[in-house]
């Protein structure tokens, strides 16, 4: 009589693959973080009702102030384009995110997520110190994606949570998260 044993697949012994309990813990932490961010955003939105209103951009003003044109194609490094896009995004965020000391943490979370994308996945060091990357000099393709998402968010008058999720999703797509 011959015994037949099925050999386990390589995936079952992959040391780099998180175990179910580790993945569940990681997912739970991510959900807790997103719930906290959503609560901060909702609180800020509620406080800002009636004060913040729509953005004061006219279509003509935006057309004149376009930070990039069709001549910038591909992902070639163009310092001026990256710089212009960074400050265009910054301007939209400063006008759209809730103001005040009580919303500082909320704004910082959005800025950190945006900067992770613009720095090509280079995250802020846990203990502080130099980052080693400049958000103003990132890849133009990433800056264009971030600008498009930010512009769409500004046009619809979205919340801080909405723009955070836009950047978060882009970071996940790029495997920065």
**128-158 as b/e, with b when 16 or more CB fall inside 10 Å?**
eeeeebebbbbbbebbbbbbebbbebbeeeb
Task: Give the torsion through C-alpha atoms of 78, 140, 123, 114, to 10 deg.
Answer: 130
11 within a domain of the structure (yes/no): no
Q: Residue 149 — φ and ψ, nearest 5°?
A: -65, -40
10 within a domain of the structure (yes/no): no
125 within a domain of the structure (yes/no): yes
Helices (H) and strands (E) in the chain, counts: 6, 0
158 within a domain of the structure (yes/no): yes
The total number of residues written for the chain in this structure: 177
CB 86 within 8 A of CB 142: no
61 within a domain of the structure (yes/no): no
148 within a domain of the structure (yes/no): yes
pLDDT tens, residue order, the chain (177 aa): 555 555 555 555 455 555 567 778 888 888 888 888 888 888 887 776 554 444 445 455 444 544 545 444 555 667 888 889 999 999 999 999 999 999 999 999 999 999 999 988 887 777 776 776 777 888 888 999 999 999 999 999 999 999 999 999 999 998 888
> How many angstroms separate the most distant Cα atoms in the chain?
84
CB 37 within 8 A of CB 43: no
- Owning domain of residue 109: 76-177
Helix 104-118 crosses helix 160-173 at what angle (to 10 degrees)?
A: 30
E strands, the chain, are none
162 within a domain of the structure (yes/no): yes
Tell me how many domains the chain contains: 1
């Amino acid at each position: 009589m011959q015994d037949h044993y099925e050999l386990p697949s390589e995936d079952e012994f992959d040391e780099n693959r998180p175990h179910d309990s580790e993945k569940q813990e990681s997912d739970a932490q991510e959900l807790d973080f997103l719930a906290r961010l959503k609560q901060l955003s909702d609180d800020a939105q509620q406080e800002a009702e009636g004060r913040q209103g729509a953005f004061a951009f006219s279509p003509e003003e935006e057309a004149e102030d376009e930070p990039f044109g069709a001549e910038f194609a591909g992902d070639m490094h163009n310092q001026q384009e990256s710089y212009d896009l960074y400050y265009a995004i910054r301007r939209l965020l400063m006008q759209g995110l809730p103001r005040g000391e009580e919303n500082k943490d909320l704004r910082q979370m959005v800025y950190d997520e945006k900067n992770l994308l613009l720095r090509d996945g280079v995250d802020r060091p846990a203990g502080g110190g130099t980052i080693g990357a400049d958000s103003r000099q990132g890849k133009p393709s990433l800056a264009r994606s971030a600008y498009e998402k930010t512009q769409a968010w500004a046009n619809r008058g979205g919340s801080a949570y909405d723009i955070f999720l836009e950047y978060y999703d882009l970071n996940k797509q790029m495997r920065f998260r």
